[in-house]
């Protein structure tokens, strides 16, 4: 399983501050980024997997909405998460 509970806890500790802080925009963006990376690798090997491609597009849209929210409310946190996760803008 690519996203075990230990990996989730690690992501939330690193980006959300603690493992119980699962709702912060930073932790959600980090989780979406991890899932996007996994799906991108999968699609490189399985080019005709249309359902995975659709899931990837939906995840990118969700991450984009959270990034826009963070950009409009707290620009410093937005810049920090972009730099930390190496997300292109």
Q: Where are the domains of the chain?
A: 25-85
CATH fold for domain 25-85: Helix Hairpins (1.10.287)
DSSP annotation string for 19-35: TT--SSHHHHHHHHHHH
Contact 35, 59 (CB under 8 A): yes
If you count them, how many residues does the chain have? 89
**Tens place of pLDDT for every residue, the chain, 89 residues?**
678 889 888 888 888 877 777 888 999 999 999 999 999 999 999 999 999 999 999 999 999 999 999 999 999 999 999 999 999 86
pLDDT of residue 1: 64
pLDDT of residue 58: 97
pLDDT of residue 37: 95
């Amino acid at each position: 399983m690519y996203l075990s509970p230990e990996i989730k806890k690690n992501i939330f500790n690193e980006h959300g501050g603690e493992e119980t802080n699962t709702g912060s925009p930073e932790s959600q963006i980090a989780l979406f980024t991890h899932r996007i990376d996994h799906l991108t690798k999968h699609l490189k090997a399985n080019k005709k997997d249309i359902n995975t491609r659709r899931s990837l597009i939906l995840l990118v849209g969700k991450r984009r909405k959270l990034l826009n929210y963070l950009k409009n409310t707290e620009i410093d946190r937005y810049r920090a998460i972009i730099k930390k996760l190496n997300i292109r803008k």
